[in-house]
Amino acid sequence: MMDYHIHTRLCGHASGEVEDYIEAAINAGLDEIGFSDHAPLPEKLRSGITMCPHETETYLERLYNARQVYSDRIDVKMGFEVDFPLFDSFDPAYFDDPRLDYLIGSCHFIDDWPFDHPDYIDEFSRRDINQVYEHYFSIMGEMASCGLFQVAGHFDLVKKFGHRATRDFFKTIEDIAQIMAKNDMAAEINTAGLRKPVGEIYPSENILRIFFDQNVPVTLGSDAHSPGEVAYMFDKTLQTLRNAGYRNISGFTKKKRYTIPI
Ligand SMILES: [Zn+2]
Ligand SMILES: [Zn+2]
């Protein structure tokens, strides 16, 4: 089993060294741990959120070294969680970097509103919630279409604080699922939602069933920002995946997808 969504101290809001996360993963019985720290945002947005552009190589070197040290105990995968729409603060050369095993595409901003940041939660009460969802999913649809990512991060993050659309988005999500399946893009099953006000995984079980029906592969991540969060609630989540119909989960090596049974 793997945990493919791990942050590091470099982002400014996570604690613990790379080695601490790896030890936690070994203790949890994982075969793989994938690091996907936040790719650099522009200077005006990144304080306490992402590493700086000049730190990307430091990050990759740390992972590469840890991979060698731990090679006989666990497989260390190298990735980034990249904001979509894209910012030019992340060097586009990384999209073709042969060292990277996967890239997670995530949406944390609607226009310039960091909607998942607790400091900006009031904005939800100023906006039409259905328009917020529509805008969010249009960004996710564009991300699925662009073909740059192996994994779609926390697919319904917009629900994080418990704000629910009153309109049905089944058709919108089904359309995106079809694009993902066509592009062989996996949906991340992210257990961080279980620790947030919404109290459920990303994506919801309803969306998971749409993904299964449309043959969208899945991968698994805790979105750990501290070593204690590695593999958070994975046993329960694997059961949720099986209930949705899934019998395997996907991993990536140098952007090549493979499956393991669950
Ligand atoms: Zn983070
Ligand atoms: Zn994220």
Q: Would you state the pLDDT for residue 141? A: 98
Domain that holds residue 193: 2-261
Q: Would you state the pLDDT for residue 50? A: 97
DSSP output for 166-204? SS--HHHHHHHHHHHHHTTPEEEEEGGGGGSTT-SPBSP
Q: What confidence tens digit (pLDDT) does each residue in 132-143 have? A: 999 999 999 999
AA letter at 163: H
- Nearest ligand atom owner, CA of 154: 2
How many A from CA of 37 to the centre of ligand 1?
A: 7
Instruction: Answer yes or no: are the C-beta atoms of 22 and 51 closer than 8 Å.
Output: no
Q: Would you state the pLDDT for residue 195? A: 96
Q: Is there a cis peptide before residue 85, judged by omega within 30 degrees of 0?
A: yes
Q: Would you state the pLDDT for residue 96? A: 96
% of the chain beyond a pLDDT of 90? 100
β-strands 218-221, 248-253 pairing: unpaired
Q: Would you state the pLDDT for residue 2? A: 97
How many A from CA of 260 to the centre of ligand 2?
A: 24
Burial class (CB in 10 A: 0-12, 13-18, 19+), 95: middle
- How many domains is the chain partitioned into structurally? 1
Residue with tokens 């418990």: 162
Q: Which residues pair with 110 in a beta bridge?
A: 113
- Nearest ligand atom owner, CA of 46: 1
Dist CA 98 CA 100 (whole Å): 6
- Nearest ligand atom owner, CA of 225: 1
Query: Considering Cα of 22, then 23, then 24, then 29, what sign does the dihedral take?
Result: positive
Instruction: Answer yes or no: are the C-beta atoms of 149 and 184 closer than 8 Å.
Output: no
Instruction: Answer yes or no: are the C-beta atoms of 38 and 225 closer than 8 Å.
Output: no
- Nearest ligand atom owner, CA of 155: 2
Q: Coil, helix or strand for 11?
A: helix
- Nearest ligand atom owner, CA of 50: 1
AA letter at 197: P
Q: What is the mean pLDDT of each run of 10 residues along the chain (262 residues)?
A: 97 95 98 98 94 97 98 98 97 97 98 95 98 98 98 98 97 98 98 97 98 98 98 98 98 98 96
Q: Would you state the pLDDT for residue 135? A: 98
CATH number of the structural domain spanning residue 219: 3.20.20.140
Q: Would you state the pLDDT for residue 69? A: 98
Half-sphere exposure of 199 (CA within 13 A, CB side): 2
How many A from CA of 245 to the centre of ligand 2?
A: 26
Q: Chain centroid to CA 139: how far?
A: 15
How many A from CA of 220 to the centre of ligand 1?
A: 16
How many A from CA of 144 to the centre of ligand 2?
A: 16
Alpha helix segments (H runs only) across the chain: 18-27, 43-46, 56-69, 123-126, 129-146, 170-182, 205-213, 234-243
Q: Would you state the pLDDT for residue 257? A: 98
Q: Would you state the pLDDT for residue 34? A: 98
Q: Would you state the pLDDT for residue 258? A: 98
- Nearest ligand atom owner, CA of 114: 2
How many A from CA of 157 to the centre of ligand 1?
A: 13
Instruction: Answer yes or no: are the C-beta atoms of 150 and 252 closer than 8 Å.
Output: yes
How many A from CA of 56 to the centre of ligand 2?
A: 17
Q: Is there a cis peptide before residue 197, judged by omega within 30 degrees of 0?
A: no
How many A from CA of 7 to the centre of ligand 1?
A: 6
How many A from CA of 9 to the centre of ligand 1?
A: 10
How many A from CA of 192 to the centre of ligand 2?
A: 9
How many A from CA of 98 to the centre of ligand 2?
A: 23
Q: Would you state the pLDDT for residue 190? A: 98
How many A from CA of 221 to the centre of ligand 1?
A: 13
- Nearest ligand atom owner, CA of 153: 2
Query: How far, in Å, are 8, 101, 221 from residue 17 at the CA level?
Result: 7, 20, 18
How many A from CA of 213 to the centre of ligand 1?
A: 30
